[in-house]
Amino acid sequence: MTSHLMLKEGALENKVIVITGGGTGLGRSMGKSFLELGAKLVIASRKMDILEKTASELTELTKGEVLPLKCDITDYAQVERMLKNACDKFGKVDSLVNNAAGNFISPTERLSNRAFDIIVNIVLKGTYNCTLAFGKHWIKEEKKNSSVLNIVTTYAWTGSAYVVPSACAKAGVLALTRSLAVEWAKYGIRFNAIAPGPFPTKGAWERLLPGELMEKFDPALRNPLKRMGEHQELTNLASYLVSDYSGFINGEVITIDGGEWLKGAGEFNMLEDAAKKEDWDNIEKMVRKAKSE
Ligand code: HXC
Ligand code: NAP
């Protein structure tokens, strides 16, 4: 565990980075680290009051430059406007972090088609809207050395009950990451993704672990490392992936979950919690006996 920056001072100097959903949660934390490493920052989402508050707090904390921009990423015209405003202010954009998301737990049969649309529109459509607008811009400008970092989750490849629209959309974002990593490499645009396990944020916890669910299903207890992620651990990885140090990493998804999804996947991993020392003594006897018969 660490609460320190990993990269050296100035590692992101001269970089202009746009983070969607950068006013709250993990987006805000990534923004703070990017600023501490010398980047200029644009944070974009729907709620201007939250963005402005975050921008002034981060400026105060880091003395860096932050531009808050109101933008609903489900609307392509707003995304184009956001990109233009970012370029007008800073002259260029180097990296896009597709971090904004919408999600809540619900049995799928209780969802209206509009509820399904809302989540897929934010997560998948919002991500491809931003990616398309920024990508076209970089290609037109013949700018080399740009990058896109997509925040997905481990159920992008396992799927998950009770968050089905989010799982469908995150799977799409992962496909987008891997597809464009190859197609747009010739334009000098790298694509990578981070798949976080549980990192406490207000936005996620209120919608995924409301009320008693947090006590009943504490993600820390289910994790092989018996804890949740620390924001700094994720922001250090994100800083590396938008920096030039990761210049040869392209099309990768990096899981940062303490081993959580693998624990759910391995056939006998449940024995970790189910079998104690005495159980193992009995089990060994039975297994040895089977061999001798
Ligand atoms: C069933 C629901 C519902 C619920 C909303 N709806 N909540 N249906 N059960 N609990 C339905 C509504 O009735 C409506 O459908 C439709 O969904 C849209 O709801 P609105 O409230 O009108 O939408 P909107 O104001 O746009 O809000 C979008 C939102 C909201 C996604 C519902 O939660 C939001 O703004 N979220 C942004 C932040 C967020 O979600 N952060 C968490 C990310 S966590 P009808 O048919 O009635 O009109 C994350 C972690 C992943 O992604 C991995 C974890 C390990
Ligand atoms: P969060 O604080 O709720 O962040 C979500 C952000 O998305 C908010 O700032 C929200 O801002 C923005 N947003 C939603 N709809 C938008 C839209 N239409 N246009 C623009 N912005 C929009 O949640 P978080 O936990 O930090 O999640 C950040 C990312 O990490 C998400 O991609 C999430 O799926 C991923 N993730 C989180 C965890 C975790 O444990 N926390 C685990 C795995 C993956 P506005 O409301 O102002 O628009």
Closest among 151, 157, 162 to 124, alpha carbons compared? 151
Q: Of all atoms in ligand 1, which is nearest to the CA of residue 122?
A: 31
pLDDT greater than 80 at residue 2: no
Residue 277 alpha carbon to ligand 2 centre in Å: 43
Q: What is the pLDDT of residues 230-283, one digit of tens each?
A: 999 999 999 999 999 999 999 999 999 999 999 999 999 999 888 888 999 999
Helix axis angle for 164-183 and 113-120, nearest 10°, is 30
- How many angstroms separate the first and last alpha carbons of the chain? 49
- Residue 292 clears pLDDT 70, i.e. is over it: no
Q: pLDDT value at position 293?
A: 64
Residue 8 lies in a domain: no
| Annotated catalytic residue within 76, 155, 162, 187 | 155
As for how many domains the chain has, the answer is: 1
Report how far residue 129's alpha carbon sits from residue 78's, in angstroms, rounded to the nearest whole number.
Answer: 10
* pLDDT over 80 (residue 35): yes
Per-residue pLDDT at 43 exceeds 90:
yes
Task: Let me know if residue 285 belongs to a domain.
Answer: yes
For ligand 2, atom 12, name the residue with the nearest CA.
Answer: 21
Looking at the domain assignment, is residue 10 inside a domain?
no
- Looking at the domain assignment, is residue 160 inside a domain? yes
The yes-or-no verdict on residue 291 having pLDDT over 90 is: no
Ligand 2 pocket mutation pick from 33, 43, 45 by most atoms within 8 angstroms of CB: 45
Q: What is the pLDDT of residues 59-92, one digit of tens each?
A: 999 999 999 999 999 999 999 999 999 999 999 9
Cβ count near 37 (within 10 Å)? 25
Q: What angle do CA 202, 206, 211 make, to 5 degrees?
A: 130
Residue nearest to atom 41 of ligand 2 (CA): 199
What does the pLDDT read at residue 273? 81
In 3D, which of 152, 178, 174 has the Cα closest to residue 163?
A: 152
Query: Which domain covers residue 277, as residue numbers?
Result: 16-292
Tell me which residue of 101, 95, 86 sits closest to 21, measured CA to CA: 101
CATH of the domain at 26: 3.40.50.720
Predicted model pTM: 0.97
Is residue 220 a part of any domain in this protein? Answer: yes
Q: What pLDDT shows up at residue 26?
A: 98
| 268 found inside a domain | yes
State residue 235's pLDDT score. 98
Per-residue confidence at 1, pLDDT binned at 50, 70, 90? low
Q: What is the mean pLDDT of residues 38-44?
A: 98
Q: Above 90 in pLDDT, residue 218? A: yes
Find all residues with CB under 8 Å of 83, minimum gap 6, and list them.
18, 93, 133, 134, 137
Inside any domain, residue 191: yes
> Among 24, 29, 74, 104, which is best to mutate for testing ligand 1, by the most ligand atoms less than 8 A from CB?
104
Q: What residues contact 60, with CB distance under 8 A and at least 6 apart?
A: none
| pLDDT attached to residue 272 | 86
Q: Does 258 map to a domain? A: yes
Give residue-wise pLDDT tens across range 162-191: 999 999 999 999 999 999 999 999 999 999
What is the identity of the amino acid at 78?
Answer: Q
CA dihedral sign of residues 204, 210, 215, 221: negative
Q: In whole angstroms, give the CA distance from residue 26 to residue 278.
A: 43
Q: What does the block give as tokens for 13?
A: 């100097």
